[in-house]
Amino acid sequence: MLPNRGRGLGSLLSDSELVVSQKVAAFKGVKELELDKIQAGAFQPRTDFDETAIRELAESIKVHGIIQPITVRELEKDKFEIISGERRYRAALKAGLTKVPAYIRDVDDQRSLEMALIENIQRENLNPIEIALSYQRMINECNLLQEELGGRVGKNRTTVNNYLRLLQLPAEIQTGLILGLLSVGQARPLITLEDKLFQIELYKRIIEQDLSARKVEQLVKEENTFEREASALDRYREDMRIEEITLKGKTLVPIKINISDIEKGHVSIKFSNDEQLETILRKLESIKA
């Protein structure tokens, strides 16, 4: 082994990173690659790029250049695919660069997917649903168990499972997480709710009233306690209340369902004149059809 005397700290750190890189995937060196020979990664987990952030990064690149090389793999001669660093690649294009520095790895599809997902999870500002989908892809496409996945991304099994459970939420709530309208802490308690209508209702209250995660947990606990302890008649009345809301929403008709016992009660509809009655009957008939 050659002595290290006289070598700079940067050089030693570079060697250290290289050793790690060789253990992770075959390392073929760093090159200046022409941008027109590089294509976006097929396994990029990020679905939305912040254009403002890209422009700001492009301005920085114009002044300082690209400090951290992107990582690519060679698909064929003079054709490369990004494994990680697509934001830097996009910003370089916007900055007017023709070449970028790149680490070149010799990896197959599965390893490329795993590297792209792990790099993004650890280093990029992914939203919770992008993280959850990345975890799910690694489990499905890399054939990993949750424990193995946790080890790869530096998270415990509980954290991984909490993210994966977010994918059980209705699309509307997942969209709220993507847009940052609520946090993971606010959304997580909603997963345990069986009543999907109450789930959406509480989601809207979180946004409108800026409910804390602790308050959401309390409301969910109260709802779940009611579900367990409510009598059969209470549950039937609650079901009919939901049915009443659904009918009003579909028909815009002033329907009232009054319950006296299980499967007993009466439905009342208010109207002021014959014309209004005919309109109501037509709307009800359209539902029946």
| Domains within the chain, CATH numbers bracketed | 22-107 (3.90.1530.30), 169-229 (no CATH), 244-288 (no CATH)
Confidence of residue 19 (pLDDT cuts 50, 70, 90): very low
Average pLDDT, the chain: 78
**pLDDT reported for residue 124:** 57
Comparison of pLDDT for 47 and 61, the residue scoring more: 61
Where is 27: in which H helix or E strand? strand 26-34
Asked if 74 and 105 touch (Cβ cutoff 8 Å), the reply is no
Catalytic residue set: 86
Q: How far is Cα 246 from Cα 264, in angstroms, rounded to an integer?
A: 19
Pairing of strands 79-84, 255-261: unpaired
φ, ψ of residue 262 to 5 degrees: the values are -60, 125
Maximum C-alpha span of the chain: 101
207-213 long-range contacts, CB within 8 A, separation 24+: 207/176, 207/181, 207/182, 211/186, 212/186, 213/183, 213/185, 213/186, 213/188, 213/189
**pLDDT reported for residue 17:** 44
Asked if 166 and 134 touch (Cβ cutoff 8 Å), the reply is no
- Of 123, 149, 147, 116, nearest to 135 by C-alpha is 149
DSSP output for 42-111: TT-------HHHHHHHHHHHHHH--SS-EEEEEEETTEEEEEE-HHHHHHHHHHT-SEEEEEEEE--HHH
Comparison of pLDDT for 28 and 112, the residue scoring more: 112
Least confident span in 85-94, 170-179, 232-241: 232-241
Least confident span in 88-97, 103-112, 119-128, 202-211: 119-128
Confidence of residue 228 (pLDDT cuts 50, 70, 90): low
Comparison of pLDDT for 95 and 283, the residue scoring more: 95
% of the chain at pLDDT higher than 90: 19
**Taking 70 as the threshold, does the pLDDT of residue 231 lie above it?**
no
State pLDDT tens for residues 185-220.
Answer: 999 999 988 888 889 999 999 999 999 999 999 999
Tokens, residue 272: 């002021």
Residue 218 DSSP class: H
State pLDDT tens for residues 48-82.
Answer: 677 888 888 899 888 888 888 888 888 888 899 88
Confidence of residue 140 (pLDDT cuts 50, 70, 90): confident
